[in-house]
Chains A and B, each alone.
Chain A
């Protein structure tokens, strides 16, 4: 009974979360001390049922944490592709960046999440955006030896080149 709405979201406890929200739907966008909403906690821990429910309840997927953390970036760190698709379908910016100069694509590449990289690229992620340290998604893939991520980026570039041919 004492768990916060953020903990309930992270733990995927949909029943308790629904009970909590009986106090008022506005609580769905309640921010914790880091500025994180229940949706952000659920996205970070891969709790897709909670993400779906929160979005149905009108949770705002655009809210950023105190260091510009986004639900999309948090899902990308761990490679939760299905959550990424849901968030993008709700209109979040695929190229949102944070204090680190981090974009969802950079986090997905850093984590070797190939499917996630492919999805973000297909949804228009900018592969030229670099982290503050100057690393692009391709630089990361090469530096870390993530061949499949490298290949996914190369395939995307080839597609772009082909579609630009007159």
Chain B
């Protein structure tokens, strides 16, 4: 059986959800 394909890695938005400085 074949393992499922992995989705492409990515870098997250570092400050997503944090208040503006």
Contacts and interface: CB of A to CB of B under 8 A. Distances in A.
B1 interface: no
A20 to B, nearest CB: 15
Interface residues of A, number: 31
Nearest to B20: A133
Give the interface size class of chain B. Answer: 10 to 19
Interface centre among A10, A32, A34, A101 (most CB of B within 10 A): A10
B5 to A, nearest CB: 6
Interface in A67-81: 67, 69, 73-74, 77
Interface in A106-143: 106-107, 110, 131, 133-135, 139-140, 143
Task: Give the one of B5, B10, B13, B15 with max A CB within 10 A.
Answer: B15
B3 A140 contact: no
